[in-house]
Homo-oligomer: A and B are copies of this chain.
Amino acid sequence: MVEDEARLAAALQRGLQAEGFAVDVAATGPAGLDAARHGGYDAMILDVMLPGLSGYELVRRLRAEQHWLPVLMLSAKDGEYDQADGLDCGADDYLTKPFSYVVLLARLRALLRRGAPERPTVLTVGDLRLDPARRRVTRADAEVTLTAREFALLDYLMRRPGQVISKIELLDHVWDASLETAPNAVEVYVGYLRRKLGRDRLETVRGAGYRLAT
Contacts and interface: CB of A to CB of B under 8 A. Distances in A.
Interface in A61-113: 63, 66, 68, 70, 80-81, 83-85, 87-94, 100, 102-103, 105-107, 109-110, 113
A126 interface: no
Number of copies of this kind of chain in the complex: 2
Interface stretch (A2-10, A32-40, A202-210): A202-210
Nearest to A162: B134
B134 A107 contact: no
A90 B107 CA distance: 11
A51 interface: no
A116 B70 CA distance: 13
Contacts of A103: 80, 83-84
18 contacts: A63-B119, A66-B118, A68-B119, A80-B100, A83-B106, A87-B107, A89-B121, A90-B113, A90-B121, A91-B110, A92-B110, A92-B119, A93-B110, A133-B163, A134-B162, A134-B211, A135-B205, A151-B208
Given A68-B119, A92-B113, A134-B162, 11 more contacts: A80-B102, A84-B102, A84-B103, A87-B106, A90-B113, A93-B110, A117-B117, A134-B211, A135-B205, A147-B206, A148-B206
